């Protein structure tokens, strides 16, 4: 059997519903990114899409330092309830700085730095993510018009720069607690995210 002839896509039943999984290899970085999708992508409505950057601590370990795990679960639930949509899982750990540097940033945060300053103190960008690969994945799935589940306006701008129409951006505010409220407020006050808190 020629392995190149075996597609990297399959059925993936989950606790959130039955999805299809497809892996996209990015030659420039060597990373394998994932699309989970269900239903017909042909429209006519914009496709419900979540572009989720990898977060080992939040997604796999249930860390309360961030809202990543609850966002991932809520997005899959939203797609399942609608019956069609796409979740892209991009290998951009720690807002693109990698796992090692992310844990170093956590150490600095434990000693008083906020989530943005911690990255900058390490000589790294506050947010190093790039969404060109996301646009390639969406176009391959015949998705060109999306309803984006995100609190980050820059994510929508980047997708549009790469040729994906963002007809609507829907906030995804879940998992806010005492452990991560300061982190989330930094994202609002210093990084342009749009999150409404219960006291507002």
- Indicate the DSSP class of residue 8: S
Catalytic site includes residue 129? yes
Distances (CA, A) of 190 to 57, 110, 111, 115, 182: 23, 19, 19, 10, 12
Q: Residue 106 is encoded by which pair of tokens?
A: 């956590």
Burial of 81 (0-12, 13-18, 19+ CB in 10 A): exposed
The catalytic residue among 91, 127, 145, 165 is 127
Question: CA end-to-end span of the chain, whole Å?
Answer: 60
Residues in the chain: 200
d(CA 120, CA 115): 9
Catalytic site includes residue 169? no
The catalytic residue among 22, 50, 95, 129 is 129
Cβ neighbours of 54 (radius 10 Å): 20
As annotated, the active-site residues are 127, 129
């Amino acid at each position: 059997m020629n392995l190149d002839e075996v597609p990297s896509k399959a059925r993936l039943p989950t606790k959130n519903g039955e999805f299809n999984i497809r892996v996209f290899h990015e030659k420039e970085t060597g990373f394998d990114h994932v699309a989970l999708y269900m239903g017909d992508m042909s429209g006519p409505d914009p496709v419900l899409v979540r572009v989720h950057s990898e977060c080992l601590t939040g997604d796999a370990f249930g860390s309360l330092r961030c809202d990543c795990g609850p966002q991932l679960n809520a997005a899959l639930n939203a797609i399942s309830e609608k019956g069609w949509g796409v979740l892209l899982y991009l290998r951009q750990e720690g807002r693109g700085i990698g796992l090692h540097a992310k844990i170093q940033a956590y150490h600095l945060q434990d000693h008083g730095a906020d989530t943005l300053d911690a990255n900058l103190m390490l000589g790294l960008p506050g947010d190093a993510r790039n969404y060109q690969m996301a646009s390639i994945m969406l176009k391959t799935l015949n998705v060109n018009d999306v309803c984006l589940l995100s609190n980050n306006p820059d994510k929508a701008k980047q997708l549009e720069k790469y040729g994906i129409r963002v007809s609507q951006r829907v906030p995804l505010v879940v998992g806010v607690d005492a452990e991560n409220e300061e982190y989330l407020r930094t994202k609002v006050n210093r990084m342009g995210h749009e999150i409404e808190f219960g006291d507002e």
